[in-house]
Amino acid sequence: MTLSILLAEDDIELNSAIEEALQCEGFTVTCCHSAEQALDEAEQQKFDIALLDLVMPGMTGVDAIAALRRLQPGIGIVITTAFATVDTAVDAMKRGADDFVTKPFNLTTLATTLRRVQAQRQPALTLPEEEANKVFSALSNPMRRAVLQQLALHKKLRFMDLCRLAGVDNHTQFNFHLRQLKQSGLVEQNANKIYFLTTHGQQMVQFIAASSDE
């Protein structure tokens, strides 16, 4: 799979060298000489990774991070600089860069870094249509949301304990809903009949504010 790179580097010779080297490594490269140009390109076309020099005339690479994220939330961002300090590195990472590379750098190593950044940029959770249907339907019910909240709090629970914590009197009603959570892949039960959240369940429960009781 060919990765598309958005390169912003004001040094003409270095810009050409990086473009050539990355093309040899199988990337598609779009070259800019300023962050402003890069943002213009990002409005026109989707990129996998932005490779931005820290210091350029006008907007810096770090200044461009927030705008790039707004345009393309999934884009990987790597900042390059010749004048690295701990403070500038930390600031870039805090502002959303995925990596920070100090010049001079080995071009083959750079290619490896770009591939790794791309691999790690997968959204934490993206649901295919059928799975999105299951998950959102499952969580449209208040009782089922309460189940996730209690499992987030208590980690592992037996059926009747979970039923009571969720505040449900009719255990067969509760059983029906618990089955639906299992079928949606948000909750699982081990061999000892203990219920717990799956990885998906843990991810989805983050969006539900903790219950205010207990």
31 vs 143, beta carbon nearer its own copies: 143
Considering only residues 114 through 173, tell me which ones interact with DNA, judged by CB under 7 A. 137, 140-141, 143, 158-161, 170-173
Kindly tell me the burial class for residue 59, based on how many C-beta atoms sit within 10 Å of its own C-beta (0-12, 13-18, 19 or more).
Answer: middle
Q: What part of residues 18-37 is at the interface with its own copies (CB under 8 A)?
A: none
* Secondary structure (DSSP) of 134-167: HHHHHTTSHHHHHHHHHHHHHSSEEHHHHHHHTT
Cα separation, 41 vs 60, whole angstroms: 16
Does 127 bind its own copies (CB under 8 A)? Our answer is yes
Distance between CA atoms of 164 and 197, rounded to whole angstroms? 17
- Give the number of other CB atoms < 10 A from CB of residue 112: 12
Please identify which residue in 59, 84, 107, 143 interacts with its own copies, judged by CB under 8 A: 84
Interface with its own copies (CB under 8 A), residue from 85, 122, 190, 192? 85
Residue 152: φ, ψ to 5°: -65, -35
Half-sphere exposure of 12 (CA within 13 A, CB side): 0
Binder to its own copies among 2, 122, 126, 172 (CB under 8 A)? 126
Shortest gap between Cβ of 66 and its own copies (angstroms)?
14
Instruction: Report the partner that residue 126 touches, choosing among DNA, its own copies, none (CB closer than 5 to 8 A by kind).
Output: its own copies
The residues binding DNA (CB under 7 A) are 137, 140-141, 143, 158-161, 170-173, 175-180, 189, 193
Which positions touch its own copies (CB under 8 A)? 73, 84-86, 89-90, 93-94, 98-100, 102, 123, 125-129, 132-133, 136-137, 139-140, 142, 145, 202, 206-209, 211
